[in-house]
Amino acid sequence: MKNLIPDNVSKHTNVYDVLEERGLIAQCTNPEKFRELLGNEKIKFYIGFDPTADCLHIGHFIPMITMMYMQKYGYTPVFLLGGGTGEVGDPSGKADMRQVMTIETIDENCRQFKRLFDKYIDFDDEWKYEGNEGVYTPGHQNREPKPGYAVSVNNAEWIRPAKFTEFARYIGTQFNVNTMLRAECFKTRMDRDTGLSFFEFSYMLLQS
């Protein structure tokens, strides 16, 4: 195993306590229930990364360290690459629309992300996402991941095949535009002369 977290990193045995001790938990809706869950079950958990460049930056550091700790304590990280959501890009914190990348650039950035994470995270590379029967049904895997190993999946596999009218009908009807516009990332952009394009507005739905 390549995990760089030492065995004697903490006196605690519950990973929640370890993460809290290391300053990696800022907010939690129900700390006691979450701590109980982590103490009783080796859960799967996911962290998503939109491939906006071909390398990691400081904003990826905390999620990566958290993944390493969780894996060290026997949980299964799901490394979610945003090959689909990355086609739009998260408008949060952006004064103007992100530069639109080609599909080839996005896919190459995804490959580079995976190569970089391979240096720090142990992946079960024989595990595969096998798609689904229609975009809005649960996907299938070839088997359960090996215990303690991470898996990698790209949301382009289910977002890119989606048809716009189907997406609008089955997903779009579940979202209230008035509620969405109260999100800080949208409010900030709406107050600017550049405004917010429908292209960017769709990010929240794709991410969900």
- Annotated domain spans of the chain: 15-162
What gap in Å lies between CA 123 and CA 128, rounded to an integer?
Answer: 11
Q: Please answer whether residues 109 and 208 qualify as being in contact, where contact means their C-beta atoms are separated by less than 8 angstroms.
A: no
Contact 149/123 with Cβ under 8 angstroms?
yes
Higher pLDDT, 200 or 32: 32
Per CATH, which fold does 15-162 belong to? Rossmann fold (3.40.50)
**Which contacts qualify for 102-110: CB closer than 8 Å, 24 or more apart?**
106/51, 106/156, 107/83, 107/156, 108/54, 109/51, 109/52, 109/53, 109/54, 110/51, 110/81, 110/83, 110/86, 110/154, 110/156
Using the predicted structure, report yes or no on whether residue 156 has a pLDDT greater than 80: yes
- pLDDT confidence bin for 59, thresholds 50/70/90: confident
The pLDDT, as a whole number, for residue 171 is 86
The residue-averaged pLDDT of 19-37 equals 95
- Phi and psi at 78, nearest 5°, equal -110, 110
pLDDT by residue (tens digit) across 97-109? 567 789 999 999 9
